[in-house]
Structure 1
Amino acid sequence: MATQSIFGDPTSPASPSHYPPSQTMLLFLDYHSLFVTQLGSPGTSAVTQARKLATWARSIPDLHIGHALIDPKLDSFPTCKGQDRLNAVKQMLNDDSAGWNEPEGIRSDTDTEVVYLRRGGYVSATKSIGLPDKLAELGVKHLILCGLSTSGCVVRTACAATDAEFVVTVVEDACGDRDQNRHDVCLQMLGNRCWVMTAEQVVNELLKK
């Protein structure tokens, strides 16, 4: 009989531990330095945990790593509500290239960590150009998600991914939001469909042989 863990029964297709590294992708969502600065302490704290996850993931052969970011060169789609706000963010990312970049330590310089871009207005990373095709090509079934903000791209990506029949693990302390209560409520909601874990739990328990 398989040993139960915090990730459930590894013989179950609904458990993250059912999938080997080759069928798993760690996906960093919208860690733009500008967003980290805007969020303040929650953003800084999330980055600390994201760096821990990045170091762990790079130590595991065959584990895929991806980065989903907003493309500041693309306008939002015409029917998107709040275009003035989105255009302002786009302009800030264009004006300050450092604000577009991810903080040091989250992304490696190697070609194996691909950046997937999406236009403003698309909140879910599943709308990133090339990402769905790459996941299918790699045979990925399990996504580990972390990012900024919890109530934005994390929730929207997680919901879209579970509807697309992926198993999803959300790393709660590698996510952040302006409002702690909103962060907590979003994670509670996601717990109905996703596996919500800390970075320490993921690093110490997931993909253990």
Structure 2
Amino acid sequence: MQNGSNTPSSEALIIVDVQPEYWSSSPAVSSSFPEFPLQLQRCLSWARSRGLCVTWIRCEYNNEKSPWLRNFAKLNPDKQALIEFNQEDLLWEDFAVPVQGEAMVIKSSWNGVSNTSLTSYLKECNVDNCYLCGLITSVCVQHTAFGLFESGFSIKIVEAACADRGRDRHEKALALYGGYMYELVEVEGEARGGGLTMSGERGVVEDQTPTVITADNYEKLAKEYLKKR
């Protein structure tokens, strides 16, 4: 399905790197943004209620797929660099668990566009506007926004549903590029039940694990999404 078809244009919510390495195992982030879980849940509820194309991004950083790791480790010996991805025992934060039918991209760099099929999938889904949220604001959220912007998408970052290693980094990053490469927006409505709606205990996700977008299956996944609209 291409943008020139009769299918109406769509919007996507893209959640970047909301995983234990960057939240529950990163006190510099979680202590600086205690409201982040509620804001992310609110954002997810808003997107799902409106039928947005909800897409998750997870990282897999290793020496084979991520040649930048060697130099990053030299510059940042105190930060975790190697992150493995095993879908069979994938851990999710309890406020950020995918539901059946949502898709996921595995990235090996700081942006979800390079060496992935994200843009191909979004175009097949007839998406032209992307809402971004997640972790870390000044790193992977920002770089993913750049990649999508350069691929021709209109980008809106949900500021309240992003977090960084400190407020100063978060605010300066968004001040630098907000209104230049993307819009800064808020979502309407409240989280279901007036507070946090937990999707389950943190742990292995079984039947809710999203399908990984690859070069071989993005057209099939896009057709499944369009059928639900």
TM-score (ref. length: structure 1): 0.72
Residue aligning to 2:202: none
Give the letter for the 1:198 counterpart: E
Residues 75 and 49 (structure 1), Cα distance of their counterparts in 2 relative to 1, 3 Å cut: farther
Residue aligning to 1:31: 18
* Same amino acid, percent of matched pairs: 22
Aligned length: 177
Residue aligning to 1:70: 59
Residue aligning to 1:5: none
Residues 43 and 73 (structure 1), Cα distance of their counterparts in 2 relative to 1, 3 Å cut: farther
Which of 102, 117, 127 does residue 113 from structure 1 map onto?
102
Native 8 Å contact 2:46 2:188 kept in 1: no
Extract unaligned runs of 5+ from structure 1: 1-19, 204-209
Name whichever of 130-139 and 80-89 sits farther off.
80-89
Aligned pairs for 1:20-169 (under 5 A) are 22-37=9-24, 38=26, 39-61=29-51, 63-71=52-60, 75-80=64-69, 81-83=71-73, 88-90=80-82, 101-110=91-100, 112-119=101-108, 122-127=109-114, 129-169=116-156
Native 8 Å contact 2:114 2:147 kept in 1: no
Extract unaligned runs of 5+ from structure 2: 1-6, 192-229
Give the letter for the 1:115 counterpart: M
- Structure with bigger helix share is 1
> Relative contact order (alpha carbons < 8 A, sep ≥ 6): 1 or 2 greater?
2
Residue aligning to 1:11: none
Q: Please give the alpha-carbon distance, in whole angstroms, between the structure 2 residues aligned to 1:161 and 1:94.
A: 23
Native 8 Å contact 2:16 2:141 kept in 1: yes
Deviation at 1:101, TM superposition (A): 2.7
Aligned pairs for 1:165-180 (under 5 A) are 165-180=152-167
Q: Deviations over 1:17-45 (max 9, x none)?
A: xxx98521100000012211202223542
Q: Deviations over 1:29-78 (max 9, x none)?
A: 000122112022235422221111111111113x2000001125774433
TM-score (ref. length: structure 2): 0.66
Q: Deviations over 1:84-116 (max 9, x none)?
A: 66994325x579x98x63312423330x21111
- Structure with bigger strand share is 2
The secondary structure found in structure 2 opposite 1:146 is strand
Deviation at 1:137, TM superposition (A): 1.1
Residue aligning to 2:168: 181
Q: Please give the alpha-carbon distance, in whole angstroms, between the structure 1 residues aligned to 2:48 and 2:189.
A: 17
